[in-house]
Structure 1
Amino acid sequence: MEDGKKICFVICYNNQNYLSECLLYIRNLNIPDGYTIDILQIEDASSMAEGYQAAMDATDARYIVYLHQDVFILEKDFIKKTIKIFESDADIGMIGMVGTKKIPESGVMWENKERVGLLRSCNLNTVDDNFDRQMEQPYTEVEAVDGLLIMTNRQNVNWRTDIFDGWDFYDISQSFEYRKNGYKVIVPYQEKPWVLHDCGFLNMREYDKYRKIFLSEYMKKS
């Protein structure tokens, strides 16, 4: 039976140092009265979608936060604020920190000027990225969100493990699956970044492979 007062945090990881830091931030979050949290740590998953599907099948939590091991939640009232958004509109099914109002024909989220959200990125320097579009209050509806952090309140939309068996485009795919099922995908208004992404080296070796799979599955022209 689904527990409507539980939030499950899911982390696929292969680096213990990143995991420890990620957990530290989660455990410092303010937990609203009456709610509980659970944390599922998926080590060395064969793919992001596979790890996330396994976690979704294992938890009874209504709210699930899927986040990368190198993402640290800065906003201490993250749980309260996101649940308030879900409760404000029963059609909202997915929340992300960064997204795009329109996926370009290439399928690459970052190739147009429709990006929205706020993110603190840590690479050579620490910067706050405001992206292209001004955020709307209390949220902006988007076509897709970035997988660095995804929060859902539905257990009836499976991850596409059948076609996304790697580390790319699982997030945009899941955004499209939610919208296909009639749910809204949104990016909340943030006065300052709710999360920090300690983004290091990106392995893009199979990115184009999964981009083509995404285009074939979701953006075929009639």
Structure 2
Amino acid sequence: MDINENKIAFIYCSDNEQLLNKSISHISSLNIPVNYEIEIIPIRNATSMCAGYNKGMEKTNAKYKVYLHQDVFISNKNFIYDFLAIFKNNEQIGLLGVAGCEVLPTSGIWMDAHNKFGKFHDSHTGKMQLISFHEFDNDYKIVQAIEGFMMITQYDIPWREDLFDDWHFYNVSHSVEFLRKGYSVVVPKQEEPWCMHDCGYNYLGNQYEYYRNVFLDEYSTFLYPLVSILIPTYNRPDFLKEALESVLGQTYRNIEIIVCDDSTNETTELMIQSYLEKDSNIKYVRNPQKLGGSTGLENCIKCFELSTGEYINFLNDDDLFSSVKISSMMDYFLQFNNIKLVTSFRQLINEQGEILSPRRATEKLFKIDTVVNGSVLGKFVIANLLNVIGEPTTVLFRKSDIEENFGTYFGRQYVPLSDISTWLHLIHNGDAVYIAEPLSFFRWHSGQNTNDIVNMIKATSEWYYLIKDSFTNAVFVYSSDEYKKLLNTWLSYSTRFIHNVNKLALDHAFEKDNRSIIAELNNCHHECLTILKR
């Protein structure tokens, strides 16, 4: 069938003749360009929206097709002139709708988006009212998905009735099908709304969630960036199994999982085999020999080097994720600019997974989700010598924002404070998001590295270096007085600790094994006193 360049087809799925006739009467009153013809194609008894629209598409040779609900009434008399002008001025545009979102949220629901555009009259609340989103200056706004009650095309792409054999998600599916073919999807600039949608209260039905998941299964790898979940593990197969299950339960689909095993036995390797057989997204590496270091930093760095995702989230092998962790955090990266990390409230749990009360560092920072200025947050962390941002499990960040090793801050490799130094590096150049919902679960138990006295000595020295390096490199812009106040805070914090460390050093075996880190801490203490005396 030869395409008629001067023909416009209005295609309906209809089961109500009264509504259909009213909608057609509005089309009859439109201004029609010279030499253009109009065709009305109602599809009755359609088994699904996609099936009905495919039948309508096959029935006509019109180049331009307006797919609309029977309860949509076009009020813009120049409707045809307006959409033709957009299509003819840009052949790259394939699909147009009166409202849509710039970035489709990870839920797949366009109305959940932060940046929505367009306007229309609608009665879904039971009363006809104006629905109006963000304004824009150009003739149209490029979006990822549009509202489904009226969708206008200048090219034919089959509707996915193989996937959507009901009445849900046909619109976002068709939007993404156009994107897959390399076309643009747009929302026009409207001085006044082009149409009225007299739908009344709309019950979504029991199948809505099913088709939402069908949509996400089909399109997630196209729409959303790959996120690497990195799990460095060491002799904790039982905890690791729980951690792994929490990743496999994520609502975010586009994930790779990298497990680097530093264990001294084969228990973890044997445990993980069944997961490797079932899920190709898991990559397991057994280190030929323990990488060394009581903090496991070397194993973390190896995980990082093996990752291929655009975004990174570590998961300590004894911690857990909420099922919506990655989805909730990625939505902020996708829809906001200048975000360098996303963190959240982290819930403390014990060895049995039971909820514990917050400690000082884990207390909730904000009652609602909050975008935090990076400099303000960085200053707060250093001023309080407190990791309120979170352990590696807690934070999602962009891989390309880490120029050196994980834990490197102005050329210095941090070890116990590798996470804090990384967060400070990231927010030096941008903002952070704090999500008030508990999206990760930090397990508190006796076997943690944070309880190791050697790591505590190293961490005390590293807090001093963080203060010094931040001031020296003008990271968060401190005055000399502010700098000295920070040093006095560290001095008070470290003096009590140094006294206990020097007592430990009387144990010759301990002193011999840890001579260098004890000396380093004392040197930091001496240097701090010297600066304060100037």
Summarize the alignment of residues 104-143 of structure 1 with structure 2, pairs less than 5 Å apart: 104-123=105-124, 124-131=126-133, 133-143=134-144
| Structure 1 residue 109 displacement after superposition | 1.1
Instruction: State the distance in 2 between where 1:64 and 1:90 align.
Output: 15
Q: Please, which runs of 5 or more residues in structure 1 have no aligned partner?
A: none
Summarize the alignment of residues 14-163 of structure 1 with structure 2, pairs less than 5 Å apart: 14-123=15-124, 124-131=126-133, 133-155=134-156, 157-163=157-163
Change (3 A) 1:120 1:35: same
| Structure 1 residue 65 displacement after superposition | 0.2
What TM-score do the two structures reach when normalised by structure 1?
0.96
- CA displacement, residues 138-163 of structure 1 (integer Å, 9 cap, x when unaligned): 000000111110000002x1110100
| Count of residues in correspondence between the two structures | 220
| Structure 1 residue 202 displacement after superposition | 1.6
| Structure 1 residue 9 displacement after superposition | 0.2
Instruction: State the distance in 1 between where 2:92 and 2:75 align.
Output: 27
Instruction: State the distance in 2 between where 1:35 and 1:183 align.
Output: 24
Change (3 A) 1:204 1:122: closer
| Structure 1 residue 112 displacement after superposition | 2.4
Instruction: State the distance in 2 between where 1:214 and 1:141 align.
Output: 21
Classify the secondary structure of the residue corresponding to 2:186.
strand
Instruction: State the distance in 1 between where 2:219 and 2:12 align.
Output: 27
Whether the aligned pair in 1 keeps the contact of 2:12 and 2:41 (CA below 8 Å) is yes
| Structure 1 residue 115 displacement after superposition | 1.2
Instruction: State the distance in 2 between where 1:122 and 1:168 align.
Output: 19
Give the corresponding residue for 2:178: 178
Instruction: State the distance in 2 between where 1:128 and 1:37 align.
Output: 28
Letter of the aligned partner of 1:56 in structure 2? Answer: M
Which structure's relative contact order is higher, taking Cα pairs within 8 Å and 6+ residues apart?
Answer: 1
| Structure 1 residue 176 displacement after superposition | 0.2
Classify the secondary structure of the residue corresponding to 2:43.
strand
Select the structure of larger CA radius of gyration. 2
Classify the secondary structure of the residue corresponding to 1:136.
coil
| Structure 1 residue 216 displacement after superposition | 0.2
Letter of the aligned partner of 2:203 in structure 1? Answer: N
Higher strand share: 1
Instruction: State the distance in 1 between where 2:186 and 2:5 align.
Output: 20
What TM-score do the two structures reach when normalised by structure 2?
0.41
Instruction: State the distance in 2 between where 1:74 and 1:210 align.
Output: 32
Classify the secondary structure of the residue corresponding to 1:79.
helix
Instruction: State the distance in 1 between where 2:45 and 2:190 align.
Output: 32
Classify the secondary structure of the residue corresponding to 1:8.
strand
| Structure 1 residue 119 displacement after superposition | 0.5
Higher helix share: 2
| Structure 1 residue 199 displacement after superposition | 1.8
Give the corresponding residue for 1:200: 200
CA RMSD of aligned residues (A): 1.1
Letter of the aligned partner of 2:104 in structure 1? Answer: I
Letter of the aligned partner of 2:168 in structure 1? Answer: D
Letter of the aligned partner of 1:110 in structure 2? Answer: M
- CA displacement, residues 84-112 of structure 1 (integer Å, 9 cap, x when unaligned): 10011110000100101011111111112
Instruction: State the distance in 2 between where 1:189 and 1:143 align.
Output: 16
Give the corresponding residue for 1:11: 12
Give the corresponding residue for 1:189: 189
